[in-house]
Structure 1
Amino acid sequence: MTPSAALNPVPARFNLARYCLAENARLRPDAPALTVVGDKAARRWTHAELDLRVRRLAAGLRALGLPSGARVMIRMGNEANAALCYFSAIAAGYVALLASSQLTFEEAAFLLRDCGASALALGAAFEKEAHEGEAIVLRGADLERLGESDPLDDYADTAADDPAYLVYTSGTTSRPKGVLHAHRAAWGRRPMREHWTGLGPGDVMLHAGAINWTYTLGVGVVDPLSAGACAVLYNGHPDPAVWPRLIETRRATVFAAVPGVFRQILKYGAPERADLSSLRHALSAGAALPPSLLAEWRARTGKEIYEAFGMSEISTFVSSGPTTPVRPDSPGRPQPGRVVAALPQEGGATPLPAGETGLLAVRRDDPGMMLRYWNRPEEERDAFRGDWFVSGDLVEFDADGYMWRHGRVDEVMNAGGYRVSPAEVEKTLLDFDGVTEAAAAERPGRDADATIIKAYVVMRDGAPQDEQALLAHCRAHLAAYKCPRAAIFLDALPRNANGKLNRAALP
């Protein structure tokens, strides 16, 4: 089945910002579109107000005389101007780049140089930064002035394959690499609406992430706006208890977060004390959702978590959801319209049969697929194999189409001469009573010339830290060569800003 068999063809002329904003401004002008809440008073825009503000700022950006296809870098936190600048740059026909607010000045300067930005929009926390180069620096007062321009009559007349936005991913390289997406990427997200998020007009989507992250930008902003729903972002003081409170006060119907946030809510947020009756379900992505965490969330809230798997190059394409029942420890099945397979590690473009482990691959003609890596032609060549985009994830699909993860090919351990997937060991560790988080890594043993598998676990409060019992559990469920030889108990696993395990930082 080709993608077009389940998805309507992408319109030839297509602008991502118009797709998200213009139609809903016409159909439901007074309905809430975007709300940003935090330590200060909430900012709230209706669909009509957001459409108008975007077209005003887009006109202001055009008045700067930026070259065609110019990159506009946005260095902001979860503030209203971040979403406004993102859509305005795209509405004007430029390429938007939302950079992480957690980047140091040096890291941000690298992105500015690497993408060759013609303009840099700075948020409140970064207004005093003095960036060198030819980029026009826009601070709060500048954006306010440009936002008073007479609005564009219409959004830029862009083709579906024209560049729309850049995201940067750390991957396994020493420097972040840019992933360039076309306007059609928003159209390619349509399978998620029915088969993962379940979003529709009138829904309220609360996302716990930072807007620059593709998970938050897509699921928390682009998807609800394109569906006629309301996006709610939070930029206040970090507090696990704030999420149940916001679900209650904002009457959120869908809540999205990484597994670590759900874990913090259960540990410190007292979800039982909040009125979660508006919540239809929750969404999880960015890291594997442990079955024990899912079970505790279900037991204490009575709500489901739909998990999904995706990547910066194509966003989310495997999920559970309203049409795909949850199977704990699996992120679900490929969404209808997606063509996904496991390919042989050694090469070839023929998908493996059910039950065999290979490299996760997605058809390159999927409308959500990236255009290319930014100035990385050699990595782009390595990423494609015939008609397939091939990731570094080791997976298998069962007879029902559910995907099961076996780690990444660059993370496979080789202790004692045997190749072992960390995911397989971690699954066994998580089955041990009291373990809430687990990781496995190859580390030096007593013999300087040999390595061993070490387990790293976080125990539930009050649960005993019994290394010998944990290792005995592993020996009862794993082949000897797969078993950890030692265990280290931690208060928390090291994770990056997006909640993903930082395996290199394990002690």
Structure 2
Amino acid sequence: MTTLTTSLFDQGPPPPCPQAFNMAAHVLRLADKLADKPALEVISATGVQIWRYSELKSAILGTATGLLNAGLTPGDHVLMRLGNTVDFPIAYLAAIAVDLIPVPTSTQLTEPEVARMIATLKPAAILHDPAVPTASAPTSKTLTTQDLLEMRNLPPAEFSLGDPNRPAYVIYTSGTSGQPRAVQHAHRAIWARQMMFDGWYGLQPEDRLLHAGAFNWTFTLGTGLMDPWTIGATALIPAPDTAPAALPDLLRQHQATLFAAAPGVYRKMLDAPAPPALPTLRHGLCAGEKLSEPLRKGWNVATGTKLYEAFGMSECSTFISASPEALAPAKTLGQPQTGRRVAILADGTPAPLGTPGVIAIHRSDPGLMLGYFDAPDATSARFDGEWFLTGDLGAMDAQGHITYMGRADDMMNAGGFRVSPLEVEAALLNHPDIATLAVTDVEIKADTRVIAAFYTADHDLVEADLKAFAAARLARYKQPRLYIRLPVLPTNANGKLNRRALRADFETQTLKATP
């Protein structure tokens, strides 16, 4: 085993990406060979909807033809306002197949949030499920789910092959400035994901991988769908509104061999009266927020299987992880995956071993974003020479294992989504009775963090009214769960709002109040 002398772990280089490349073609590369094999099973307690590889590819390429017939041209942005159904991945890959640029979005976004995206991206089309909120866009075509359904049987489009560095898709992440950022990714991003197959998943073609997330979550799109399809495995997705308590039965009935979910899902499954009995499960995969040691150990005791954690972000997906072949010592995230070059930086250079610093990934990584759309200054601010700065803190040991030490800024984690407190504060400060406001995430019990809003006002405000005010302006995952009135908000020596002090004071008081 390699022994490091500084906090720089070089697991590269990755295999080179083909120069004539298309992300959707890569995902579907085995579809003809595996024509009759189930690619996707949408499962519930009452039945299963099966999509075979041949059916999936036909629907994707027929939809791609339909999008072009609708007048869209390569390079156009296509905003996706679709629900938690199979329409989502079909439309997503259809757009990429013919060099349109899809923008997947959460159904939880409100009309004002969508309007800001439209103003930035100026999409040529909006793919719209009438049950999902959207905003008016006079210059955009609107294609409904019925329109998309009718496209599936059209003659198949040809995959558009080209430079792997050209834009493929855009996803939104909460920016540290308070404004969500449009993250542009290249076609090569899917090529980088093969480093997770052994470095995190232990994924094999015969696997049946159940992902607990919705179709329209990027964690599900990557780990739950595209990666299994790339290797020729079967993806299992629970039907909409499946409760965590129902997942053990679905895992067992549908013989899942791998399971992927955010830590909160595992925690809810363990809260059931009886431990889950999962005879076919090899192990679980965990990402989106930090996995605690009690939860990791509790799952192992209850099920006899291990949980393997991965660390990543919207700008680079996951690049540090544990796996069946590379176990992580307790309280660490694991190691950089093979093909990655990762450092812990202090003052711009790799820190001494064991010394805290910013987790950084080399700018040559094929999974790294192209940049923030129409925001060159914001893009350049994330780089320090050859390194992309994640904004997360960590420390590295001599074997390259990385211990996570929190955020370098005030960004929050809400159920696997990164959220800027500035964005939430900007929305709530429009309330006429709030004088000052600070938002942060707080721990209310072991493994459970929620967003809390601390405000000053001349009287206590009705919490139900505050929640309704937030619901009209913010996606559900951005909305505070707690509203707490204080006489004054804490500041540091420079007069700057001190959110960390708020969090520490709240958690200290909560601990004192716990019997």
TM-score range with shorter-chain normalisation? Answer: 0.7 to 0.9
- Aligned residue for 2:323, secondary structure, equals coil
Structure 2 CA distance for partners of 1:85 and 1:405, relative to 1, 3 Å: same
- Give 1:85-484 correspondences, 5 Å limit: 85-123=91-129, 125-126=131-132, 131-152=136-157, 154-268=158-272, 270-272=274-276, 274=277, 276-344=278-346, 347-348=347-348, 350-411=349-410, 435-437=446-448, 454=504, 484=508
CA contact (8 A) 1:309 1:319 kept: yes
**Deviation of residue 351 (structure 1)?**
1.3
**Deviation of residue 446 (structure 1)?**
9.4
- Aligned residue for 2:226, secondary structure, equals helix
2:48 matches 1:42: yes
Aligned residues between the structures: 438
Q: Quote the sequence identity (%).
A: 37
The C-alpha deviation readout for 1:196-231, integer Å capped at 9, x for no partner, is 011121211111123333322111111111111111
Q: What amino acid is the match of 1:303?
A: T
| Alpha-carbon separation, structure 2, partners of 1:135 and 1:406 | 44
Structure-2 residue corresponding to 1:65: 71
**Deviation of residue 42 (structure 1)?**
3.5
The C-alpha deviation readout for 1:359-411, integer Å capped at 9, x for no partner, is 11100111101111111111101001111111211111011211011111114
Q: What amino acid is the match of 2:233?
A: A
**Deviation of residue 193 (structure 1)?**
0.2
CA contact (8 A) 2:317 2:367 kept: yes
Structure-2 residue corresponding to 1:487: 511
Q: Match for 1:31 among 29, 37, 55?
A: 37
Structure-1 residue corresponding to 2:15: 8
**Deviation of residue 4 (structure 1)?**
9.1
CA contact (8 A) 1:452 1:485 kept: no
CA contact (8 A) 1:453 1:485 kept: no
| Alpha-carbon separation, structure 1, partners of 2:12 and 2:171 | 29
Q: What amino acid is the match of 1:362?
A: I
Structure-1 residue corresponding to 2:88: 82
Q: What amino acid is the match of 2:19?
A: A
CA contact (8 A) 1:440 1:453 kept: no
Q: What amino acid is the match of 2:303?
A: T
CA contact (8 A) 1:53 1:84 kept: yes
| Alpha-carbon separation, structure 1, partners of 2:216 and 2:247 | 19
In structure 1, stretches of 5+ residues that fail to align are 413-428, 458-483, 492-507
- Aligned residue for 2:409, secondary structure, equals coil
TM-score, length basis structure 1: 0.80
**Deviation of residue 18 (structure 1)?**
0.4
Higher relative contact order (CA 8 A, sep 6+): 2
Structure 2 CA distance for partners of 1:115 and 1:270, relative to 1, 3 Å: farther
- Aligned residue for 1:109, secondary structure, equals helix
**Deviation of residue 145 (structure 1)?**
2.3
| Alpha-carbon separation, structure 1, partners of 2:149 and 2:405 | 49
The C-alpha deviation readout for 1:174-205, integer Å capped at 9, x for no partner, is 22111000000000111100110111212111
- Aligned residue for 2:271, secondary structure, equals helix
User: Runs of at least 4 residues of structure 1 off by over 4 A?
Assistant: 1-6, 38-41, 434-453, 488-491
| Alpha-carbon separation, structure 2, partners of 1:411 and 1:133 | 37
**Deviation of residue 96 (structure 1)?**
1.1
| Alpha-carbon separation, structure 1, partners of 2:11 and 2:405 | 30
CA contact (8 A) 2:15 2:339 kept: no
The C-alpha deviation readout for 1:295-334, integer Å capped at 9, x for no partner, is 1110011010000100111100000002211322211111
**Deviation of residue 487 (structure 1)?**
3.2
Structure 2 CA distance for partners of 1:449 and 1:67, relative to 1, 3 Å: closer
| Alpha-carbon separation, structure 1, partners of 2:191 and 2:513 | 45
Q: What amino acid is the match of 2:53?
A: H
**Deviation of residue 131 (structure 1)?**
2.6
The C-alpha deviation readout for 1:70-128, integer Å capped at 9, x for no partner, is 111111222010010000000111111111011112222322332221111112523x8
CA RMSD of aligned residues (A): 2.9
- Aligned residue for 1:341, secondary structure, equals strand
Q: What amino acid is the match of 1:183?
A: H
Q: What amino acid is the match of 2:113?
A: E
CA contact (8 A) 2:78 2:103 kept: yes
Structure 2 CA distance for partners of 1:202 and 1:447, relative to 1, 3 Å: closer
| Alpha-carbon separation, structure 2, partners of 1:189 and 1:373 | 20
CA contact (8 A) 2:44 2:250 kept: no
Farther off after superposition, 438-447 or 381-390: 438-447
Structure-1 residue corresponding to 2:423: none
**Deviation of residue 453 (structure 1)?**
6.3
CA contact (8 A) 1:38 1:237 kept: no
**Deviation of residue 436 (structure 1)?**
4.9
CA contact (8 A) 2:359 2:394 kept: yes
**Deviation of residue 142 (structure 1)?**
1.1
The C-alpha deviation readout for 1:269-309, integer Å capped at 9, x for no partner, is 7443x4x1111110011111110011111001101000010
- Aligned residue for 2:59, secondary structure, equals helix
Structure 2 CA distance for partners of 1:7 and 1:112, relative to 1, 3 Å: same
**Deviation of residue 248 (structure 1)?**
1.0
**Deviation of residue 155 (structure 1)?**
0.7
The C-alpha deviation readout for 1:399-458, integer Å capped at 9, x for no partner, is 12110111111149xxxxxxxxxxxxxxxx99xxx945479999989997785763666x
| Alpha-carbon separation, structure 2, partners of 1:200 and 1:269 | 33
Q: What amino acid is the match of 1:371?
A: L
| Alpha-carbon separation, structure 1, partners of 2:489 and 2:169 | 50
The C-alpha deviation readout for 1:143-163, integer Å capped at 9, x for no partner, is 1222232112x3112320111
CA contact (8 A) 1:75 1:123 kept: yes
- Aligned residue for 2:126, secondary structure, equals strand
